[in-house]
Structure 1
Amino acid sequence: MEQGKIHLMKFQKRWQLLSYAEVLLYALGLAVLCYFIAKNVVISLVVFLIGLLLFILIKKPWQHNLFSTSTYVDAHVSEASFSSGLLLQPEDSLSNLAKLQRYKVAQELSVKLGLLTPPNAIKQALLVLLGCIILGFVIDKLQVFSGVDQILNNPNNSEQIQFIATDSLKGKSLVPKIETQEIKVLYPSYTRLGGTTTTDPNIKAVKGSTVQWKLHFDHPVNDPVLDIMGELKPLRKVGLGYQIQLPLTTSGFYSFKFKNEEGTAFTSDLFSLEAIPDNPPEIEILGLVQYTYFDFSDKKVVELQSAITDDFGIDESYIIATVSKGTGESVKFREEKLSFKETISKGTKSMRATKSLDLDALKMEMGDELYFYIEAFDEKQPKRNVARSETYFAVIKDTVGEQFGVEGTLGVDQMPDYFRSQRQLIIDTEKLIKDKPTISIQEFKSRSNELGFDQKALRLKYGQFMGDESEMEEAPAEIESHEEGEDHDHAEDQESMLKEFMHDHDGDNEHNLVEQHEHENENDSEPEDPLHDYLHNHDDPEESTLFEESLKTKLRKALSIMWDAELYLRLYEPEKSLPFQYDALKFIQEIKNSARIYVHRIGFDPPPIKEDSRLTGEIKDIKNYNKNESKEAEQPFEAIEEAVRRLEQLVHKESDYKENDTALFTAAGNELAQLAIDNPGKHLQVLQGLKSIENNTGRTLENYRFVQKGLLLALPDSPQKPGAKKMYVDKINSLFLKQLEVYD
C-alpha cells in the first residue's frame, strides 16, 4: 500500500528539482550577459545571486508539495480516477471499498508516474541562456558598453589631466585646461585584443602596444610636448587639438608640458606607463618518467602526453628527438623533428598534445638511446617567444657484451673500462633505498655490494691524481678504530659475509696493480735532507701532482669520505652511505671549479735582467715600491639620501626652501624613477609629491613628511659594513620596528 505513496513522493521531488534547474539557468544567463557588459567577475557573481533569489521567489518551487502533486496527477492520469489522495490518508481511517480503490490506484501509478514528466520550462530556460550568451558576445565584439567596462574596472579612469605653472612667480597667468582627453591603446595584432579607449592617463598594456593621446585645450597653447623619462616628444596639431602616438616598449613615467600665450611654462602630474611582457609558452609533460628503459623483446613505444599553454596563443610546437648510436669515439647522432598527433591551430591558448614515439620506427637497435624534448613558439612579433621542456630519455638495453679471449701467458687487465661518476652512484644508491621494500634480501645485498665496488673503483681513479699507484694506503682513522677489540671481530664477520656477494674484480686483481714489499728497519732513522722542503719529489705521492696545497687537501678529504661511503655500502647500509657520497660530490665539484682557474697562473714572463748588473750585489738603485690608492665608495642613490636629509631640515623648519633644492629634488626623482621602472605604480605618488615640491604647489609639512617616508622606503637595504658589531635583535622588537615603519 505504501508503494504508491513512494512513487508519488519521487514525482514530487522531480518536479521541485526541475523548477530549481529553471531558476539556475535564468540566473546564469543574466550573470553571463552582465559579465560581457561589465567585464567584472565580482559584479557578475552578485547579479547571479540576486537573480537566483529573485527567480526562486517567482517560481516558488517549494509549493510543489504532495497535495498539489496529487491534484496534478488526478488531472493528468486517467487511471488515478481522482483517487490519488487516498494514498496520503492513513489506511486505518479508510473503508474496505476505499482500501480496494487505494490498492488499485497504487498499482496503476507505480507504472504511469515513471513515464509522466512534471510540468517544466527547461527548454525555454536553455534558450534564454543561449540567447544571453549570443547577445553578450555581440555586445563584446561591437564594444557597445566599452565605457561601462572602463568605469567599473578602472575607478580612476575619469582622472582629468591638470596643469600647474612651473614658475611660482607667474602662477597668476591664465592656465589652459583640457576640454577633452582621449587615450587609445592599440594592442599588437597577434594578441587579438583589438584596441581600447580610456581617459585614464595611467596606462597598463601589453609590451609592443601603440598608445595614442588626443588632447583638446580650451585656450591656445604653444610647444606642447610629452616628457617620457626626460625624453621630450612634441605633440602634433590635428584640427583643434593635439595628438601623439608612441609604441609602448618599456615601463616608466610621463607628463605633459607646454607654454601659454604669455610664455609661462606649465607641466602636468606624473603618470605611469606599465608594459606587460608577453610570457613564453608553458609546457608540461604528463605522466612520463624522465628515464625509460626497454628490453629488446618489449613493445618499445613511449606514449608522450603534454599540456601547452600561452597567454595570447600558440604558433607552433613540435618534438625534437635525437637518436644516438654507438659508443666512445664512434658515437653518431641523428636528430629529427616530429609533429604531434593533433593539428595545432594557430592562436590556441591551451591544448593537449600527444605522440606515440615508436623506437622501432626510429630504427633504433640495442644500446641506442633516444633524447627528446618539446619546443613551443607563441605568436609574438617581430620575434617569437620560445620555450622548451626538460629532456627525456628512452634507452634500449644492450644485453650483449664483448668478451676477449686470453691464451697463454698474455696479461689480462681486469679493471673495468669505465668508472661511474659520484653523481651516478648517488642516483643508484637512492634507487636502491627506494627499491629495498620490493626486492629480496639477497638482491639488496648484492646491489649494495656492487655499488661499494663502484665506489672503490672511483676512489682509486681519483687517487691517481694524488700520485697513488695502488690501494695500499691506510684507511681513515675512523675505519681503523673499528679494528680493535670486539669491533675487530665484528668486522671479520662482516667480511666473511661479504664474500658471497663480492664483485669478480673486487680483489682478484689487486696483486697485479703494484708489488707489495715489507718495510724493514722502519725504526731506523735517516738523516733529514736539508733540501727536502725545496724539491719537487716525484717519489712522494703527495708531491707528485701539479695541484696546489689547498686542492690536495680537498682531494684527500674526498678520498677519505669515499672510504666511509664504501664501508657502509659493504655493510648493506646505503642510508648511512648516502650523506658521505653527497659530501664527496661537493668536494669534487669544488676541485673542478678551482682547477679551471689554474691556467691563469701559468705563463709568467719575468722582466729581463741586465747582464752588466747581474751578480754585482749593488742595491743602491733599488728602491722600495710604495703605492697609495684611494677609492670612493659607490653611492648609487646619493641624491635620494641627500633629499631625505634636506627634507628632515624642512620638516623641522631649520631652514627655508632654497633655489638649489629644486635641482636636488629633480635628481632624487630621476633616481627614484630608475628604481620604479619595473613597477611604475609603486612609487607614483612619491614622484608626484617630489614634482609638486619642485613646482611650488606642494611645499607643505604634510607633503614633506610623505615624500621623506616614501624615499626612505624606496632605498634598498644597505649591505653589511665591514667591522660592524653583531648584535642580537629580538624578534618581537624587529616586528615592532617594522610596524613603526609602516604606520609612522
Structure 2
Amino acid sequence: MSVVATSSAPGREMLLDISQREANRRTVALLLPLAAAILALGAWARHWSAGPLVFGGGLAVLLLGAGFWLYKVRQPRLLSLVQRLDRLHAELEDSTGLLLRDEHQTSFNLLEQLQQQRIGARLAALQAETPYLLPFSWRPTVLVTAVLLLLLAAGMWWHRPAAAEAQASLPVHFPAAEKPARPGQAVAAKLLDTRLLVQPPTYTRRASFAPTNLSFSCPTGSRVRWTVRVNRATGTAPVLELGSKRISFRSIANRPTEFVAEVPVTVSTLYRLRFAGQVSDDYALDVVPDQAPSLKIQTPKPYTLIEFGQSSTVPVRIDVRDDYGLSEAQLVATVAQGQGEAVKFKEVVTNLSGQLRGQPRQATLATSLRLPALGLTYGDEVYFYVRARDNARHLTRSDTYLVQWEDTTVQDGLTDMSMSVNVVPAYFRSQRQIIIDTEKLMAERPSLPTATFAERANNLGFDQKMLRLRYGKFLGEESESGSAPQPPASADTSHEEHAGEKGTEAGHSADDGHDHAAESPAGGEAANSTTALMEPYMHRHDDAETADFLEPAVKAKLRSVLNQMWEAELRLRLAKPAEARPYEYRALRLLKQVQQQTRAYVRKSGFEPPVLPEATARLSGDLAGAATPRLQQQTTRPATQPEIREALRLLAALRAGQAPRPADAVVLERAGQAVAQAALQHPGAYLTAVRALRQLSANARASRAACVTCFTPAESALTALLPMPPATPIRTSSGSRLSQRYFQNLNSR
C-alpha cells in the first residue's frame, strides 16, 4: 500500500482565509468608532473660533493613527494564528503548524503526511460549521461608539441655541417712516429687519454669539456681521453708518432681498442704517477693551533682610488675574554683588509659565529665591520683579522688591554715628567671632578635659568683657564696674569729692589730663554760682547721659547691647557657653541694627531775595523793588458750554407749557451734537438722550407738541455734561441749644 504525498498549499490557504476574516472584523471594529469620533470632533469644532484648524489637526491625527493600526492588523501572522487555533480547538491535536510546512523544502515522513492530511480535513470541517474560528468581543467597540455618538449629539444640541440666536430677526425702527401706500400705488422700499452675529477674537476663547438687541457690547477686535432684509429688490444697497464711516452692504448670491456687511470693531461708537432715503435710530455699539493682567505679590515684603542664622530661601507667592486668560509669567531677579565701584550685576530669569496650564483667568504662582543658588553671599542684594502676559500679549510688571543678606563682618558702621568725631575704638575681637568660638567650644566639649573647657570658657568671657568695655566708651563709661551707665552726679556734689575718693574706679586722678584746680574756701560761693551757670554747657566725664554725641534711640539700643554682653560674659565665666549663646546672638543682632542706621541731611530751602546794589541803596531809604512783586488781574469767568445751558433753559420753558417754535430746533440740535460726542465714548449712557433730543427737535421744527417722555432723559444727560459747581460755604451750627440761646440773648442786648 502506497501513500501519495499532497501539498500543504490548501492548508495554508485555509489559514490565510481565517486570518483575513479576523482582520476584517478588527477593521470594522476600528472604523465604527473612528467615524463617530470624526463626526463628534466636527460637531464640537464649530463652537470654537479656531474650529477649522482644530478639526483639520484632529482629523490628520486620527487618520494617521488608524492607518498605522490597520496596516499592522492586515499583515498575516500565521504562526500566532496557528498557536491560537491549537489552544482553542482540541480536535486539531496541536498539529495545525504542519499546514505551514512545504513538502518541496522539507521531506515529510509517512506519519507527518498522514497527520497533515488529517488536520487539514478537520480544519475544513470546523470552518464549514462556523465561519469564525477565533472568538471576538464587540462590546468595547459598541461602548466606545456609543460614547462618541453621545458626544456628537451633545455637540449638535449645544449648537442649536446658537444657530437659533443667529437667525433671530431684530426689527429696525425708522422715526421718519412713510405712510402706508394707497391702493394702486407701488409699495415703497423699506428695510424690514436685521440679524447680528459677533465673532470675538481668538485669544478670548469665546464662541460666536448673536446679540438679542441692536444695542450690544462685544470684546475689542471682534468682527460684527449685519445681515439685513428688505421688502423688495432695488438697485441700491443699504448703508451702515458706523461713527464717521459709511459702509455699503453687499448682496448675497441667490437672495436679492438680503444684504450683508462685516466690520471689525475696536472702539465704542454709535451706528445706524440708511436705506431708500430713510435713516434709522442710533444704536450703541459698546466695545469692551481687553485689560492687562493684574499682579499682586503676597510674599515677601517689599524689603526683606535675611539676618544671621535665618534661612537663605525666600518664598515668593504671586496672585495673577486677567479677564480672558494668562499665557506667560516670569520672575526677573537682578543680583548685586560687591561694594563701591566694584559692584557687579547679574540678571536671572525664572520662567513660571508652567503653572499657567490651560491659560486660566486667575492663578496663584509659587516659587522661591534660593540665595546661594543665585550666587549671593553675605552682604549681597537681589532685586526682583514679576512680569506676566495675557493671551493678547499685554504685559504687566510688578514693583521691584529687595532682598538683602545681612553681612555681620562689617565693623565700620559706627564710624559715622558721632557726627565727625573720631571715636573709632582700637582693634578688638568682634561679636560674631565670639559666637563662632563659643559654638566651636560647645562642639569640642566631649573631647576636652574639665579644666581646659573651663579655661577656654573663661577666656571667651574675658574677650566678651573687653568688647563690652570698648562699646561702653560710646556711652561715656570710663569704668569697668558694669555695663550699665553710672547714675549722674548730684548737683551739690563737688568735683573734688569724686577725685578724693579712694577705691572708686570712676574717680579722676591728678594726671588724667583734666584741669582740677583747687578752690579756696573764700571763693566757694563764687565757684558755686559759676558752676551753676556753666552746667548746661559742660561735658561731664562721670555722667554717661551727657558724655556722648549719640541720639537717644541709638543710646537705648547700645545700652541693650551692653546688657546682653554682660549676661553672656557672666555665663561664660561660669563655664556655661550653651546658656550664653542666646545672649550673644541678641547682642549681635542689636549691634548690627545700630551699625546700619543712617542719617539724611536735607538742606532747608525757601525764598532767596535778589542781591541789592549796596553801593547805591545803602542808607538811602528807597524801598522801591524791595517787596516781592504781585501781579493781580480781575477777569470774568467765561460761561462754559453755553449751548447746553441754553438748551436746559429751553427745556424748562417747554415743560412749563411754552409752545415750541422752529427756531427752538436749532438750539436743541446744537445740544444734541454735544451729547452725541459724549455718546461716542459711552454709548449706553447717552443713547437715550440723543434720541430724545432728536425727537424734540423734530417736533419743534414741525411746530408740534413736545414729547412729554423726552424731557427727563434729555435734561439728565445735559445736566451730567455740565461741570460740577464750586462748593459754597455753609454756615454750620456749633454748640448746644443752650449756647445758641445765650449768644442770641447777648446779641439782642
Tell me the TM-score normalized by structure 2: 0.46
The structure with the largest alpha-carbon Rg is 2
Tell me the TM-score normalized by structure 1: 0.46
